[in-house]
């Protein structure tokens, strides 16, 4: 594994060495800095593919850009590794798998935009059907994107409160101390009421 990687503006990133596919899987599951390094390596390793997506023809015409397709591709792959839906197989390299995700993501997106004509021009007959395992991953990706979108819309204070409770494991007392200190709420009871209201609100939306 690389000793140190710092995201830097200039001159940017150089990878100390190659990762094998199993090292990538290990690093993605481990999380933290080694996960960052592995994600970076995936970008580097698949540069040609990703650049070809960037230069694809629908880039300026739609709500979703090729840019979105790229990070979503990486996100689907990383989530699949973390949830152990992806495993190393003899005839299945990570690069090939990422290529399939990207292609399927583009097909799915173009389908959803009712742009069948464009899809056929770009991918031809070979891409008519989504591949099963990737198809499931894309459906899950879409669900999580919807959840995240709902979460983003519940209001800044609610979002923060729910992140503190469900993401960071704050107790009401700990949360109240921080939020009251900041002057966002008057006292613990008000925080408690706000949390209850936020929870009910998000439960009705999810």
Partner 1 sequence: MTEQELEILEAYVLGNLEKKKSAEVEQRLLSDEEWQSNLKKMEVLKALPEKLALRNKIKSIHQEVLKEWEQESPKKGKIISWPKIAVAGIAASVATFIYFNQSHITLPGQLTMQERGSDSNISESDRVDFQKFKDAQALLITGKNQEAAEAFAQIKNEEHLRKYYRDLARWLEVVALAEIDKPKAAQLLREIESDDDFKYKIPYFDKIRLKTRLLF
Cβ at position 202, least distance to partner 1 in Å: 6
89 SS3 class: strand
Q: Contact at 8 Å (CB) between 19 and 38?
A: yes
User: Does 78 participate in binding partner 1 (rule CB under 8 A)?
Assistant: yes
Pure H helices in 90-187:
94-112, 116-123, 132-152, 156-162, 172-181
Q: Give CA–CA dist 90/14, Å, rounded.
A: 29
Binding piece for partner 1, criterion CB under 8 A, among 92-100, 108-116, 123-131, 177-185: 177-185
- Select from 89, 117, 125, 183 the one that contacts partner 1 (CB under 8 A): 183
User: Does 206 participate in binding partner 1 (rule CB under 8 A)?
Assistant: yes
Largest CA distance in the chain: 63
Binding to partner 1, residues 133-152 (CB under 8 A): 144, 147-148, 151
179 burial level (CB within 10 Å; 0-12, 13-18, 19+): buried
- Select from 10, 84, 89, 114 the one that contacts partner 1 (CB under 8 A): 10
Binding to partner 1, residues 88-107 (CB under 8 A): none
Nearer to partner 1, 130 or 202 (CB): 202
Nearer to partner 1, 79 or 95 (CB): 79
Q: Per-residue string for binding with partner 1, 25-54, x by CB under 8 A?
A: -------xx-xx--xx--xx--x---x--x
Residues in contact with 34: Cβ distance below 8 Å, sequence separation at least 6, in sequence order: 1, 27
Nearer to partner 1, 22 or 145 (CB): 145
Q: Contact at 8 Å (CB) between 102 and 74?
A: no
Nearest to 87 by CA among 135, 43, 28, 141: 28
Q: Give CA–CA dist 203/124, Å, rounded.
A: 43
Site of interaction with partner 1 (CB under 8 A): 6-13, 32-33, 35-36, 39-40, 43-44, 47, 51, 54-55, 65, 67, 70-71, 74-75, 78-79, 144, 147-148, 151, 156-157, 160, 162-163, 165-169, 177-178, 181-183, 196, 199-200, 202-203, 206
């Amino acid at each position: 594994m690389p000793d140190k990687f710092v995201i830097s503006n200039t001159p940017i990133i150089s990878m100390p060495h190659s990762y094998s596919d199993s090292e990538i899987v290990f690093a993605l599951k481990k999380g933290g800095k080694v996960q960052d390094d592995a994600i970076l390596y995936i970008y580097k390793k698949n540069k040609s593919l990703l650049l070809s997506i960037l230069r694809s023809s629908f880039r300026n015409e739609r709500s979703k850009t090729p840019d979105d397709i790229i990070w979503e591709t990486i996100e689907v792959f990383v989530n699949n590794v973390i949830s152990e839906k992806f495993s190393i197989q003899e005839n299945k390299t990570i690069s090939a798998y990422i290529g399939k995700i990207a292609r399927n993501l583009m097909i799915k997106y173009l389908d959803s935009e009712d742009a069948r004509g464009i899809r056929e021009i770009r991918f031809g007959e070979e891409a008519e059907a989504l591949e099963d395992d990737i198809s499931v991953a894309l459906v899950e990706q879409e669900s999580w994107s919807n959840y995240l979108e709902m979460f983003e819309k519940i209001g800044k204070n609610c979002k923060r409160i729910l992140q503190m409770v469900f993401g960071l494991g704050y107790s009401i007392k700990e949360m109240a101390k921080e939020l009251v200190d900041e002057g966002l709420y008057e006292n613990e009871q008000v925080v408690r009421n706000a949390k209850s209201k936020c929870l009910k609100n998000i439960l009705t939306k999810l």
